Amino acid sequence: MTQTATTPDTIDRGQVGGGWGQFYDDRLSPIKRYAVRNPSLIVGLGLMLSLALFVGIGHLVWDTELYRVLSTPTRLAPSFEYPFGTDTQGRDLLAVSIRGTPLTLRIGLIAGFVSIGLGTVAAFLAAYYRGWVDYGVRSVVDVGLAMPGLLILILVRINIGRELTVDEMGFALGMVGWVFPARTIRAQVLVMREAAYVELSRLSGTSGMGIIFKEMLPNLIPYITASLVGAVAGAILASIGLEAIGLGRFGDPTLGMTIYWNIQFSSIILGMWWWWLPPLVAIVIVFLGLFLISSGLDEWSNPRLRKRV
């Protein structure tokens, strides 16, 4: 009886590598194929990772307490001792960048999660239960969209009479910005509400909350994730605008407050390019990275686009 010899070429990858081979085929290989045909997501994640590495390594190798006023000599150009130079207030601008970049991202993340969280809850309740709930949510959303959010925040800041912390700024931006995701997510839920699988779950006796959490919400996770990225970018832009006009906390070295001090001390007129360039570069990297991530998530959140790629 003739037996066929087993050669290395005929051995299955899973048999050679065991659990690792199966993990590669099931998990890593699809991610690799997705990255090859969707490089914008990878580039965007790379840009954000570069900022994270800059901040993380900076905290390990640099004295970040030099961001405080009068910690260094004033108006020094970049040198070996001060790679990013110093400003008119006597702050090391490298320390300012290391401490300020994550604070600005923190504002955006807090605002993004608050706005998407509130908007998602309101959208599901309004679109699924309809009736007076839908009417109430739509009324609030329509009024909120008609009112300028930045003007509301300016009025709130003036009436509070004190500086807003980073967390308070993020929470305030989220409370103002939830109306737009509520409208867009509600439109998606209205379409899903009439889907056959939702109707089948309803006829089988599943409760409304059960249908929302088990059937509808998992299918909207890609769209909600893409909306979250856009909400974070919008909140960062709004926070920079508010801080640039002096409505932030003066002691925080955020990107917006760095721009504010540039304006106050006329860094461009003084020729101190090393003062305004780092926050500008950081802002460009943040927005470019978030834009590319949002573009890369389009395939994940848009089934039609997913089929074409």
Q: Which residues pair with 92 in a beta bridge?
A: 86
- CATH code: domain 38-308 is 1.10.3720.10
Supply the mean pLDDT for the chain: 86
For 197-246, the pLDDT digits (tens) are 888 888 888 888 888 888 888 888 888 988 999 999 999 999 999 899 88
Sign for the pseudo-dihedral over CA of 82, 256, 106, 250? positive
- Would you say residue 158 has pLDDT above 70? yes
- Would you say residue 7 has pLDDT above 50? no
- Would you say residue 248 has pLDDT above 90? no
- Would you say residue 106 has pLDDT above 80? yes
How many helices (H) and strands (E) are present in the chain, helices listed first? Answer: 16, 0
**In degrees rounded to 5, what are phi and psi of residue 244?**
-65, -25
DSSP letters for 126-189? HHHH-HHHHHHHHHHHHHHHHS-HHHHHHHHHHHH-SPPPHHHHHHHHHHHHTHHHHHHHHHHH
- Would you say residue 9 has pLDDT above 70? no
DSSP 64: G
For 27-82, the pLDDT digits (tens) are 667 666 766 777 888 899 999 999 999 999 999 999 999 999 999 999 999 999 99
- Would you say residue 124 has pLDDT above 50? yes
Cα 77 to Cα 296: distance, rounded to the nearest angstrom: 39
pLDDT at residue number 30: 66
Q: Where are the domains of the chain?
A: 38-308
Cβ-Cβ contacts under 8 Å for 160 (sequence gap 6 or more): none
